[in-house]
């Protein structure tokens, strides 16, 4: 999710920050603003007791995202030692604590972000410990409107400058402290690996010994702090082992589902299978008769877009589950009970035939296309897709009259505090304490409010700590899905073979209109627009052309939709790269050569296209029934091109034989993590191409578990090659960018193998059965 | 009252015999390394060893585990020293990590019966283990590494 710069959000953030910190100048929070285009650079120099309450290591919680490569040394208190800013602390014993403000969901931020600080700080990495931090505006995401969240492959990208600056500032002050002690020039001192050296006299002082003096020095302004040259990096660019991995190989890594608290009860929830439905009446007696079941609680529909339901509260998950199965419920199925995939398709097709809200109108696409010959017009469809995070939705909460504790692996502290726990309890956000755990997959699902609201409301109702665990069926059937879309594109080439015009209309439900209306953007005409729906058609549309029109229409199918890994790029790249392939075919051009020509002035696009094509052996002959397809995208500053090689058998069975992926993600912070994320993104892309889809009948999801919503299995993964273009650009994202090109690369390969153009996912054998 | 032998220790738990072993381990005994993924025995996040054979604990009634030798991820080694755990770290296998206990237990059972495996044998032997993050290629490398291939 990349939010447009919402002025209301930014103003709200700034006001909150001012109100929170009315201190004398030298100890006040201040913002350091850099270039506007990428959003504010925020250093957030916060000192003293009014800093964010970082989630400190509490006893017995050693496996929550607070980890150290060496021995865990408890800090001497949140504000002891040297805290030049909101990102690091050096204790007198030399331990360095780096604050992590992003959710660790397997993408490796718990290591890669602290690396940025430690590199410039010249910390001894073996003495670094990491703790999760939230509750201060400095931890907000500039690329996401200032909200505190982990989304959109933006963590490394937006932290690259500010976290290095934070570390470098700390280093400069430690060096200044040493220089002061020695009575020498700071320029003659050198920081390395947790120590300051004065080479001319052979003296050295450890950071721990300098901490208290450094803490008393003025913080230098950013323009006076020097960052390293890339050639001097010791950690950045190397495969530093991830801090969280050891705990993930022995069962000790703690996820929200693992939380155990004194007096805790466990609950599982039941919602109306029809979206928008509600409890008309229920009989709790059969559930309460189950040994171990303590309460049955009705959960109100307390948040917009989140249905109410029932919770069975018990001594453990199993009796709660039995109680849920035993409940007798009369549901009022609500307004969407007649909805089906067919009715949704028809509604969206009808909307597709109407004008949409204009998002982009450059040049005159309609006019150019009206005058063009050889217009390609195509209607595409993308299905609802489920997340199926390996850990179903889980959250624990303990609500008291004056405070709330929440234990959760969540992608957004803002959602947990400000959108759920505070409004539901009437307490201020500062009264909400978040104990962040690891996430058993995030994938965009774990940024939502519903499962957190369940825990808060049930705890409030029963007056005890409650851990809510959704069943997998509840998780699949009450997901927020990747949107079902209908898209129509009209495009044509000019006489020279360049893109003349592209007119694109996408119809789908909005991810934000109901649940987060403040995230709606405004189109040029002032209409509210969900800009997630046009990702990849916005500034990330890769192909230069003069006549481009993008329209989007919000449908209202009643099915809740949200952020799936890849977000709008994932379904829109399928369409864009399919249409580009159709244009190439209509012009009798090779799909690679066609793209190279259109992108001749975009070096980074050419870089990934050429690398992928070369490594894939593009152009080498293939046996019959086999074909190659290519696709590319730009996402969060990263360019990706992928070549898929497929076999389509006579019965339509499609096998991906090989997938070659070229990535240009700018400067690589951790090459091992880049490869892992690239492969993971490809496999996730395959899941949306050849595997399960969510279908609707009678207003309800027809699938319920991994048996009827299949996902890629161990023995179904093609050989996947990742090739990285060396780059000196600032880092781009890597969590999602390899997801979107998978579907079009496969579909384009199917076309190459069979001549059949698929405009609908997932790829189904029935659509590819050979005709005699 | 059931008596279960878990990781070499005898534990007595006051649970109904038809409670799935998964929830006895997690809720009654606090052994949370074994995970809940699907509840229908189709994702293997809940794999434990029963007399050395990998089985899904989410669909195994606890009473059927009485008198058997149960090994959970916590019992694979006391200190991450099992060759597979070492290989998992060396290859940086886990991403989110949630499926990895089940992956390791499956791999451990596989290697115990067939010390050297081809790629195809690994794929077939690990097919029941679902990973949503896409760590399969690295798991395969790590199994080879642990086998000394």
Q: Does A471 touch chain B (CB under 8 A)?
A: yes
The shortest C-alpha distance from A393 to chain B (Å) reads 10
Contact B134 A469 (CB under 8 A): no
**Chain A interface includes B137 (CB < 8 A):** yes
Residues 689-708 on A with a CB inside 8 Å of B are: 705-707
Which chain B residues are Cβ-neighbours of A705 within 8 angstroms?
Answer: 38-40, 42
Please indicate whether residue A50 or residue A77 has the higher confidence score (pLDDT).
Answer: A77
Cβ-defined contact of A472 to B37 (cutoff 8 Å): yes
pLDDT at A431: 94
Give the model's pLDDT for residue A581.
98
Write down the pLDDT at residue A80.
Answer: 67
What is the pLDDT averaged over residues A131-140? Answer: 90
Tell me the CA distances in angstroms from A67 to A91, A98, A220, one per residue in order: 16, 10, 30
- A419/A33: higher pLDDT: A419
- Residues in B closer than 8 angstroms to A60, CB to CB, are none
Q: Which residues of A566-603 are buried (b: 16+ CB within 10 A; e: fewer)?
A: bbbbbbbbbbbbbbbbbbbbeeebebbebbbebbeebe
pLDDT tens for A616-667 read 999 999 999 999 999 999 999 999 999 999 999 999 999 999 999 999 999 9
Which chain A residue is nearest to residue B26, measuring alpha carbons?
A258
- Give B 81-110 residues with CB within 8 A of chain A: 85, 88-89, 92-101, 104
B134, A682: Cβ pair inside 8 Å?
A: yes
Residue B81: Cβ-neighbour burial (10 angstroms; 0-12, 13-18, 19+): exposed
**Burial of residue A199 (number of CB atoms within 10 Å: 0-12, 13-18, 19+):** exposed
pLDDT tens-digit map of B16-61: 999 999 999 999 999 999 999 999 999 999 999 999 999 999 999 9
**A70 has pLDDT over 80:** no
- Closest chain A C-alpha to B130 CA, distance in angstroms: 6
Record: contact B92-A317, CB cut-off 8 A = no
From chain A, the residues in CB contact with B41 under 8 A are none
Mean pLDDT on A238-248: 97
The answer to whether residue B126 neighbours chain A at the CB level (below 8 Å) is: yes
Contact A438 B96 (CB under 8 A): yes
Distances A429 to A137, A414, A454, A643 between C-alpha atoms, Å: 12, 9, 18, 48
Instruction: Check residue A525 and give its pLDDT.
Output: 84
Residue A574, H or E segment: helix A567-586
Q: Is B80 on the interface with A (CB under 8 A)?
A: yes
Residue A524, pLDDT score: 84
Residue A61 confidence class, pLDDT cut points 50, 70, 90: very low
CB contact under 8 A, A676 and B95: yes
User: Are A239 and B35 an interchain contact pair (Cβ–Cβ within 8 Å)?
Assistant: no
Whether A207 shows a pLDDT value over 90: the answer reads yes
> Quick one: average pLDDT of A539-550?
96
- The pLDDT mean for chain A works out to 90
Range A268-280 average pLDDT: 98
Chain B: give the shortest CA distance to residue A112, in Å.
13
Min Cα separation B67/chain A (Å): 23
Q: Which two tokens stand for residue A206?
A: 């450890």
> What tens digit of pLDDT does each residue of A394-413 get?
999 999 999 999 999 999 99
**Considering CB atoms only, which of B32, B88, B123 is closest to A714?**
B123
The interface predicted TM-score (ipTM) is 0.98
Percent of chain A residues topping a pLDDT of 90: 87
Is B123 within 8 Å of B107 (Cβ atoms)? no
pLDDT grade for A63, boundaries at 50, 70 and 90: very low
Identity of the residue in B92, B94, B132 whose CB atom sits nearest the CB atom of A389: B132
Sheet strand arrangement including A720-724: A626-635, A638-648, A654-664, A720-724
Mean pLDDT of chain B: 97
Question: How do residues A339-365 score in pLDDT, each as one tens digit?
Answer: 999 999 999 999 999 999 999 999 999
Residue of B nearest to A261 (CA): B30
Using pLDDT thresholds of 50, 70 and 90, give the confidence band for residue B149.
Answer: low
Site from A325, A692, A714 to mutate, B interface, most B CB atoms within 10 angstroms: A714
Q: How many residues does chain B have?
A: 149
* B101 Cα to chain A: minimum distance (Å): 6
Taking only the tens place, the pLDDT of each residue in A457-516 is 999 999 999 999 999 999 999 999 999 999 999 999 999 999 999 999 999 999 999 999
Give DSSP secondary structure letters for B14-65: ---TTSBHHHIIIIIS--TTS--S-SSSSS-TTEEEETTEEEEGGGSBGGGG
Residue A355 burial (10 A CB sphere; 0-12, 13-18, 19+): exposed
Residue in chain A lying closest to B90 (CA) = A241
Mean pLDDT, to the nearest integer, of A161-182?
Answer: 97
User: pLDDT per residue over B76-135, tens digit each?
Assistant: 999 999 999 999 999 999 999 999 999 999 999 999 999 889 999 999 999 999 999 999
Q: Is B50 on the interface with A (CB under 8 A)?
A: no
Helix (H) / strand (E) element for A214: namely helix A207-215
Report yes or no: A227 at the B interface, CB cutoff 8 Å: no
**For A6-55, what is each residue's pLDDT tens digit?**
444 444 444 444 333 332 222 211 122 222 222 222 334 332 212 222 22
Q: Minimal Cα–Cα distance from A562 to chain B, Å?
A: 18
């Amino acid at each position: 999710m990349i939010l447009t710069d919402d002025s209301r959000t930014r103003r709200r953030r700034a006001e909150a920050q001012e109100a929170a910190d009315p201190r004398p100048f030298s100890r006040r929070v201040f913002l350091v603003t850099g270039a506007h285009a990428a959003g504010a650079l925020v250093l957030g120099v916060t000192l003293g007791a009014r800093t964010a309450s970082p989630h400190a290591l509490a006893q017995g919680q050693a496996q929550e995202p607070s980890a150290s490569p060496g021995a865990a040394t408890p800090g001497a208190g949140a504000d002891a030692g040297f805290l030049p800013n909101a990102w690091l602390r050096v204790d007198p014993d030399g331990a360095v604590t780096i604050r992590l403000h992003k959710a660790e969901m397997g993408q490796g931020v718990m290591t890669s972000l602290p690396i940025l600080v430690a590199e410039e700080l010249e910390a001894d990495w073996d003495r670094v410990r990491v703790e999760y931090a939230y509750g201060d505006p400095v931890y907000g995401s500039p690329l996401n409107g200032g909200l505190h969240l982990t989304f959109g492959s933006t963590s490394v990208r937006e932290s690259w400058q500010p976290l290095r600056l934070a570390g470098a500032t700390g280093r400069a002050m430690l060096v200044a402290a040493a220089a002061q002690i020695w009575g020498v020039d700071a320029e003659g001192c050198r920081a390395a690996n947790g120590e300051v050296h004065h080479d001319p006299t052979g003296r050295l002082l450890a950071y721990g010994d300098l901490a208290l003096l450094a803490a008393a020095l003025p913080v230098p302004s950013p323009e006076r702090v020097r960052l390293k040259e890339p050639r001097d990096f010791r950690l950045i660019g190397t495969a530093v082992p991830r801090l969280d991995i050891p705990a993930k190989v022995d069962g000790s890594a703690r996820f929200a589902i693992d939380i155990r608290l004194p007096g805790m009860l466990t609950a599982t929830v039941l919602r109306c299978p029809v979206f928008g439905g509600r409890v008309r009446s229920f009989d709790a007696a059969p559930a309460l008769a189950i040994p171990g079941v303590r309460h049955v609680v009705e959960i109100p529909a307390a948040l917009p877009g989140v249905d109410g339901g029932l919770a069975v509260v018990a001594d453990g998950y199993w009796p709660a589950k039995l109680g849920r199965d035993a409940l007798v419920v009369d549901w009022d199925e609500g307004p969407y009970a007649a909805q089906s995939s067919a009715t949704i398709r028809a509604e969206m097709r009808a909307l597709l035939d109407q004008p949409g809200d204009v998002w982009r109108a450059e040049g005159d696409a309609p006019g150019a296309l009206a005058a063009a010959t050889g217009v390609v017009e195509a209607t595409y469809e993308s299905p609802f897709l489920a997340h199926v995070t390996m850990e179903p939705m889980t959250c624990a909460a303990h609500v008291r009259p004056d405070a709330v504790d929440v234990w959760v692996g969540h992608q957004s502290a803002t959602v947990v505090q400000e959108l759920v726990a505070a409004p539901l309890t009437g307490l201020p956000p500062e009264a909400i304490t978040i104990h962040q755990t690891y996430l058993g997959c995030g994938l965009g699902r774990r940024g939502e409010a519903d499962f957190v609201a369940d825990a808060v409301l049930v705890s409030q109702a029963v007056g005890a700590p409650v851990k809510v665990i959704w069943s997998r069926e509840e998780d699949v059937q009450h997901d927020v899905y990747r949107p079902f879309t209908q898209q129509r594109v009209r495009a044509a080439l000019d006489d020279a073979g360049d893109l003349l015009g592209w007119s694109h209309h996408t119809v789908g439900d909005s991810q934000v209109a109901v649940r987060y209306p403040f995230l709606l953007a405004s189109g040029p005409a002032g209409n509210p627009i969900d800009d997630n729906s046009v990702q990849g058609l916005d500034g990330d549309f890769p192909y230069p052309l003069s006549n481009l029109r993008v329209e989007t229409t919000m449908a209202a199918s009643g099915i809740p939709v949200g952020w799936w890994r890849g977000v709008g790029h994932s379904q829109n790249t399928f369409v864009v790269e399919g249409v580009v392939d159709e244009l190439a075919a209509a012009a009798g051009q090779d799909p690679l050569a066609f793209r190279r020509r259109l992108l001749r002035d975009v070096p980074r696009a050419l870089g990934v296209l050429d690398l992928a094509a070369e490594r894939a052996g593009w152009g080498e002959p293939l046996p019959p029934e086999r074909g190659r397809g290519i696709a590319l995208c730009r996402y969060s500053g990263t360019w990706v091109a992928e070549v898929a090689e497929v076999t389509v058998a006579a019965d339509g069975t499609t096998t991906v034989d090989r997938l070659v992926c070229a990535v240009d993600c700018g400067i690589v912070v951790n090459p091992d993590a880049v490869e892992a994320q690239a492969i993971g993104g490809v496999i996730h892309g395959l899941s949306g191409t050849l595997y399960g889809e969510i279908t609707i009948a009678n207003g309800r999801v027809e699938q319920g578990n991994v048996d009827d919503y299949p996902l890629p299995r161990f023995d179904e993964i093609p050989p996947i090659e990742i090739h990285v273009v060396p780059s000196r650009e600032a880092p781009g994202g890597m969590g999602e960018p390899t997801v979107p090109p998978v579907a079009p690369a496969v579909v384009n390969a199917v076309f190459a193998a069979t001549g059949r153009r698929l405009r609908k996912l997932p790829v189904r054998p029935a659509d590819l059965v050979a005709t005699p | 009252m059931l008596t279960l032998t878990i990781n070499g220790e005898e534990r007595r738990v006051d649970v109904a015999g038809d409670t799935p072993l998964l929830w006895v381990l997690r809720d009654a005994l606090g052994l949370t390394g074994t995970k809940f993924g699907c509840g229908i025995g189709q994702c293997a996040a809940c794999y434990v060893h029963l007399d050395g054979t990998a089985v899904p604990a989410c669909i195994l009634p606890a009473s059927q585990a009485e008198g058997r030798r149960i090994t959970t991820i916590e019992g694979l080694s006391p200190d991450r020293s099992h060759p597979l755990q070492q290989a998992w770290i060396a290859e940086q296998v886990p991403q989110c990590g949630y499926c990895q206990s089940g992956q390791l237990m499956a791999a451990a059972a596989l290697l115990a019966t067939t010390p050297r495996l081809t790629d195809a044998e690994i794929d077939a032997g690990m097919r029941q283990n679902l990973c949503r993050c896409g760590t399969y290629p690295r798991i395969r490398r790590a199994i080879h590494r642990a086998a000394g291939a």
